């Protein structure tokens, strides 16, 4: 009967996979050690040419962007805060646009402030002000959504044409 030696009792560590995070540190293929308990923003430069591969790699944890705790707290927003702010604000703006369609004269000067396009759509095409306000609201919502998508796509996932950038 054989007895285990001390060397056999020690379990050999598994080889580290690329991009694996161990003890809040991630060894990148270029040799840089990404420190996950520090802000990522200041470390992005050190990632170098691997930035786009690293940024597209899934993160299974919360990413700390800033070293300052106050700024970091402001960078994460719960999902429900956005609807709580934007829905009442957008309904207010929708009502204000509808009210300005109904009462186009300036309160003190009496000058008509309605645009030629609004007058044409209402007078010639016979579109009611309520429908016009809702249509403009929907167009604005779609435009804003597309604007945010393209700015995010090209600002955060843009690949420079060469390394000199």
Q: What is the pLDDT of residues 100-117, one digit of tens each?
A: 888 887 767 778 778 888
Q: Global pTM? A: 0.58
Q: What is the pLDDT of residues 37-79, one digit of tens each?
A: 888 888 888 887 787 788 777 777 788 889 999 998 888 888 8
Q: What is the pLDDT of residues 8-19, one digit of tens each?
A: 555 555 555 566
| pLDDT, greater one: 147 or 42 | 147
pLDDT at 27: 80
Closest to 115 in 3D by CA, of 137, 140, 138, 97: 97
| pLDDT, greater one: 59 or 6 | 59
35 DSSP assignment: E
Indicate if the pLDDT at residue 33 is higher than 70.
Answer: yes
| pLDDT, greater one: 121 or 156 | 121
pLDDT at 110: 77
| Whole-angstrom distance, CA of residue 38 vs CA of residue 67 | 6
Indicate if the pLDDT at residue 1 is higher than 80.
Answer: no
pLDDT at 24: 79
Cβ pair 22, 36 in contact under 8 A: no
pLDDT at 44: 82
Helix ranges (H only) for the chain are 6-9, 44-47, 51-56, 69-75, 81-102, 116-123, 129-156
pLDDT at 40: 87
At 73, list the tokens. Answer: 């707290």
pLDDT at 101: 84
Taking residues 145-164, what's their average pLDDT? 81
Q: What is the pLDDT of residues 149-158, one digit of tens each?
A: 999 888 877 7
The residue whose two tokens read 């927003």 is 77
């Amino acid at each position: 009967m054989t007895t285990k030696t001390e060397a056999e009792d020690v379990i050999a560590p598994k080889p580290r996979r690329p991009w694996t995070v161990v003890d809040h540190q991630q060894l990148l293929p270029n040799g840089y050690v990404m420190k996950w308990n520090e802000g990522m923003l200041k470390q992005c430069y050190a990632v170098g040419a691997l930035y786009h591969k690293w940024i597209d790699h899934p993160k299974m944890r919360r990413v700390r962007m800033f070293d300052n705790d106050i700024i970091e707290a402001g960078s994460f927003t719960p999902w429900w805060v956005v609807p709580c702010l934007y829905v009442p604000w957008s309904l207010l703006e929708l009502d204000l646009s509808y009210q300005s369609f109904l009462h186009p004269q300036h309160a003190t000067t009496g000058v008509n402030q309605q645009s030629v396009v609004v007058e044409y759509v209402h007078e010639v095409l016979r579109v009611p002000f309520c429908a016009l306000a809702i249509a403009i609201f929907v167009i604005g919502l779609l435009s804003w959504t597309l604007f945010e998508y393209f700015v995010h796509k090209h600002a955060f996932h843009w690949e420079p044409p060469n390394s000199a950038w």
